[in-house]
Amino acid sequence: MSDLVLCDIKAGVAVVSYNRPEKHNAFSDALDDAFFGLVAELHERNDIRAMVWRGEGKSFSSGRDTIELGVRAPGVSDLDYIARGHARTKLLWTAPFPIVVALKGWVIGGSFERALLCDIRIASEDARMSLPEVAHGVIPDSGGVARLFQMAGHGLAADLALTGRVMDAEEALRHGVVSRVVSLEALDDAALEIAMGIAERSPVAVRLTREVLRNLATPEVERSMQQEWISQSVVMGERRKRDD
C-alpha cells in the first residue's frame, strides 16, 4: 500500500486516512490511485461493516493538487480522464458498507464533493468548505453539486458553486450538509464511535437501509455527473485553446 493513504481496521471498521499533511491532503493522481485502489479492495472484504474517511494533519483535504490541474498522461483525452474519475467516485456509494467522513480544516473542491456523496459527515469546529472550481476556469465535476442541491436547495448550491465562498461548520450544520459539529479534539473519536455503532447493527438491515437512501438520491447524482462529464470536457478544451 502507498504511504499516501493509511488504513487501520478495528472491529469491522476500516479507518482510511489521507496522508499528505504537508499539502493539506491535496489529492494527486498517485493519492487517488492509492485511495480508490484501497476502497476497491475493501469492497471485496466480508469483514468490513463500516468505514471512516479522514485526513492526517490539519485538513481533511484541500482538493485537487493545483500543480496537477490539467495534467494528463499522453494520449488520455479529457473525456476519458473525467470518465475514469467518475468510475472511481462511484465506489463511494456502491460500497457494501456505510462511509462516515470526518471533516476538518480545509475541505475543498473535489474532496468536498466526494465527501458529500458519502453516508454521514461530521465536522470539527474549524472545518471550512468551498467549491472554487469556477475561479480556476473549470466546473465542479464529481457529482457533489447535485447532492448539495438535494441537501440544501438551489440557493446554497448556486451560491457555493458560482462564488466559491467558504462555508464554515456551523453553516454546514444549519443546512444539513453535516449532521454533527464537534471539537477538533473529539472529531476522530466521534467518527469512529458512529462507525462502530453501525458495525454492531444487523448487516442486512444496514445494507437495505442504505439501498433505500441510495435509490432516492443517486439517480439525480448520476444524471448530473453525465452532464458534468460533457461540460467539463468542453470547458477544458476551451481553456486549452486560450493557453495555446
Catalytic residues: 113, 133
For residue 46, count CB atoms less than 10 angstroms from its CB and return exposed for 0-12, middle for 13-18, buried for 19 or more. exposed
CA 111 to chain centre: 4
Phi/psi of residue 193, nearest 5 degrees: -60, -40
Do residues 147 and 126 touch, judged by C-beta distance below 8 A?
no
Run of H or E residues at 17: strand 13-18
d(CA 135, CA 41): 35
126, 105 contact by CB (below 8 A): yes
Nearest residue to 232 via CA among 111, 57, 70, 47: 70
Q: Which amino acid is residue 14, in one-letter code? A: A
The three cell numbers locating residue 94:
456502491
93: cell is 456509494
Measured distance CA(212)–CA(223) in Å, rounded: 18
- For residue 33, give the amino acid letter: D
DSSP-derived 3-state class of residue 164: coil
8 A C-beta contact, residue 175 and residue 148: no
